[in-house]
Amino acid sequence: MDHLADVKKFAKKPLNEAAFAGMAKSYALVMGKPDTRYVACSDPAELDRVRENFLKKKLGLKSGDLDGSIKAVCEQMKEDRTKSRLTFYYLLAEHHGKLDLFIKK
C-alpha cells in the first residue's frame, strides 16, 4: 500500500510531508503487522483504543468531541474498506491541529 497516496486521497489540506514522515517512522512497527495495520470503524473497542491511546495519550487531548472526530474520520474514509491506521491517525492529528507533534526538530 502506498501510504503517502492514501493520505493525499483523504486529507482536506495539502499534505504536511514532514509530519507524515514522522508518523510513518513512529508507526512503522504497527503498520508492519496485519492485525494492527487497519482501523475497524465497526468495532467499538477499537474506537475506544484510538481515543484513549492516540487522541489522549499521543496527542495529549483531554476534552472536546474526541468521539465525534473519530466518527468524522470514519465517515471521511467510508469508501475504503481497509482504513490504514497511518492515514486514520494523520487525519485525526490534522483535524485537531496536532501534526507538528510528529515533526522531528
pLDDT value, residue 35: 84
pLDDT value, residue 97: 95
pLDDT value, residue 1: 65
Global pTM reads 0.93
pLDDT value, residue 30: 87
From first to last of the 105 residues of the chain, give the pLDDT tens digit. Answer: 688 899 999 998 999 999 999 999 999 888 888 888 999 999 999 999 999 999 999 999 998 899 999 999 999 999 988 899 999 999 999 999 999 999 987
Three-state SS for 4?
Answer: helix
pLDDT value, residue 100: 95
Three-state SS for 38?
Answer: strand
pLDDT value, residue 27: 92
In the chain, alpha helices (H): 3-10, 17-26, 28-31, 44-49, 66-76, 85-95
